[in-house]
Structure 1
């Protein structure tokens, strides 16, 4: 069992976004790339300019430092929010009836925070797995495996 014709599939992580469309049917999926985007990570020196801060503890001369901000993670979260904004915009324009989202758990969590109710209504499947570097046939197999309906147990007579 697969997904309906014209279903939109978003495959993303913190660095890549793939928008795919099923041009096949629910029995023979045929994902085609609509759009592919990639961002390059900036070096640490371009993302932060200061060392982690420190603070004196009152009543002693001891110092403790703040944990350094993970700018790469912030950039990945921003990327996930941008993907959600794009998919929300498309849902509000009735660009798709069904949506499949495939993303690693952290990215999927960030996406879910930003999904519009209209997008949520159209989402038929969410898979928490990293698939941006996989060929289309592997993505099709994953979706097909997730949408299979289990056969009812046999009744012994």
Structure 2
């Protein structure tokens, strides 16, 4: 059983927002304090892409095929997860935390896992595959405490 001891950090993230929280009390009654908040502007793909998909010739015939435009919105989400992993590395390297819990939407958690440096992954004591960025801190405290108790 893992617990949210004093000094444990909790990253709560989705594809556009991240809260870096630190438990300032014990595992029985965690008190998560916001240490950092990051947010990314990520308009819908429609607002970021070209007007029409590109086209190319299929060879000597008269057929032309549409080419999908780059999904800028999705790329920005992946880039945000990569940026988060880099920030976590900097923080771990500075000694900001020794224990870390990752709480993120499933696709973000997957991207984070792919990009975490060993120095950070060695600090991870738990992962929760849920998007809790829209919840109040008190609710996050309870959900993290319960999830770690049952891990």
Q: TM-score, normalised by structure 2?
A: 0.89
Please report how far the alpha carbon of residue 33 of structure 1 lies from its aligned counterpart in structure 2 after TM superposition: 0.9
Determine the C-alpha separation between the residues in 2 that align with 1:124 and 1:136. Answer: 20
Runs of 4+, deviation exceeding 2 Å: 39-51
1:65 is paired with a residue of what secondary structure? strand
CA contact (8 A) 2:49 2:71 kept: no
Unaligned runs of 5+ in 2: none
Equivalent residue for 1:5? Answer: 6
Determine the C-alpha separation between the residues in 2 that align with 1:3 and 1:122. Answer: 13
1:75 is the counterpart of 2:113: no
Q: In angstroms, what is the RMSD of aligned CA positions? A: 1.9
CA deviation string 1:10-45 (max 9, x = no partner):
111111110100011111111111112222224657
2:122 is paired with a residue of what secondary structure? helix
Give the paired residue count: 150
Structure 1 residues 48 and 7: CA distance shift in structure 2, 3 A? same
Determine the C-alpha separation between the residues in 1 that align with 2:149 and 2:68. Answer: 45
* Structure number with bigger Rg: 1
Unaligned runs of 5+ in 1: 151-157
Equivalent residue for 2:132? Answer: 131
Equivalent residue for 1:57? Answer: 58
CA deviation string 1:43-100 (max 9, x = no partner):
6576334532222212432222122211111111111111110001111122111001
Equivalent residue for 2:27? Answer: 26
